[in-house]
Copies of this chain bind each other. A is one copy, B any other.
Amino acid sequence: MLIEPQFRTKFADAVWGTMERLSRMAAFESALASAQAKVGLIPRSAAKTITQICNGPLPKASNVYEEAIVAGNPAIPFLKILTVSVNAKDSGATAYVHFGSTSQDLIDSAHMMALTKIADALDASLQQVASELRRLTTTHAETPMVSRTLLQQATPITFGLKAGLWGTAITQARQQLKVARINDMAVQLGGSNGALSAMAPHGPKVRADVAAQLGLADPGYCWHTLRSRVLTISAVLAVVVGVTAKIAGDCLLMMQTEVGEVQESFPGESSAMPHKKNPVHALVPVAALPLVATHLATLAGSQMHAHERAPGSWHTEWITLPVLTCLTLASVERVKEMISGLKINIPQMRANLALTRGTLAAEELVTTLAAGIARDEAHNLVDDLLKQSQNNNFSETVRSNSKVSELLTKEKIAEILGYKQTLTAAAREAQRLAKTINDV
Q: Which of B101, B282, B294, B366 contacts A311 (CB 8 A)?
A: B282
C-alpha gap A41/B252 in the complex (Å): 36
Q: A258-B352, A306-B250, A367-B198 are in contact. Are A238 and B300 (CB under 8 A)?
A: yes
Q: Mark A234-264, 1 if CB is under 8 A from B, else 0.
A: 0100110111011001101101111100000
A165-B194 in contact (CB<8A): yes
C-alpha gap A273/B7 in the complex (Å): 41
A205 at interface (Cβ–Cβ under 8 A)? no
Tell me the residues in window 151-165 of chain A with beta carbons closer than 8 Å to chain B beta carbons: 151-157, 161, 165
B246-A225 in contact (CB<8A): yes
A66-B5 in contact (CB<8A): yes
C-alpha gap A75/B315 in the complex (Å): 35
From A103, A228, A277, A379, residue with most partner B Cβ within 10 Å: A228
A192-B149 in contact (CB<8A): yes
A45 at interface (Cβ–Cβ under 8 A)? no
A220-B436 in contact (CB<8A): yes
A249 cross-chain contacts in B, Cβ below 8 A: 304, 306, 312
A306-B376 in contact (CB<8A): no
Task: Tally A residues with Cβ within 8 Å of B.
Answer: 181
C-alpha gap A270/B155 in the complex (Å): 12
A221-B103 in contact (CB<8A): no
Tell me the residues in window 1-26 of chain A with beta carbons closer than 8 Å to chain B beta carbons: 1-8, 12, 16-18, 21
A391 at interface (Cβ–Cβ under 8 A)? yes
A375 cross-chain contacts in B, Cβ below 8 A: 83, 94-95, 97
A195 cross-chain contacts in B, Cβ below 8 A: 157, 161, 422, 425-426, 428-429
A256 CB to nearest B CB, Å: 5
C-alpha gap A291/B316 in the complex (Å): 7
A22 CB to nearest B CB, Å: 11
A112 at interface (Cβ–Cβ under 8 A)? no
C-alpha gap A314/B150 in the complex (Å): 9
C-alpha gap A76/B267 in the complex (Å): 13
A148 at interface (Cβ–Cβ under 8 A)? yes
From A8, A191, A241, A314, residue with most partner B Cβ within 10 Å: A191
C-alpha gap A400/B419 in the complex (Å): 43
Q: A266-B70, A297-B293 are in contact. Are A322 and B155 (CB under 8 A)?
A: no
A59 at interface (Cβ–Cβ under 8 A)? no
Q: Which of B323, B352, B379 contacts A323 (CB 8 A)?
A: B323
A149-B309 in contact (CB<8A): yes
Shortest 8 CB-CB contacts between residues of A and residues of B = A242-B303, A286-B312, A297-B297, A293-B301, A72-B268, A294-B294, A197-B425, A149-B309
What are 6 A-B contacts defined by CB distance under 8 Å? A76-B270, A147-B193, A165-B221, A198-B364, A256-B256, A256-B258
A-B contacts besides A147-B307, A165-B222, A231-B238, 17 pairs, CB < 8 Å: A5-B66, A91-B374, A94-B370, A104-B149, A147-B193, A148-B256, A151-B256, A152-B278, A153-B257, A153-B258, A197-B421, A203-B425, A221-B433, A258-B259, A275-B360, A289-B303, A293-B297
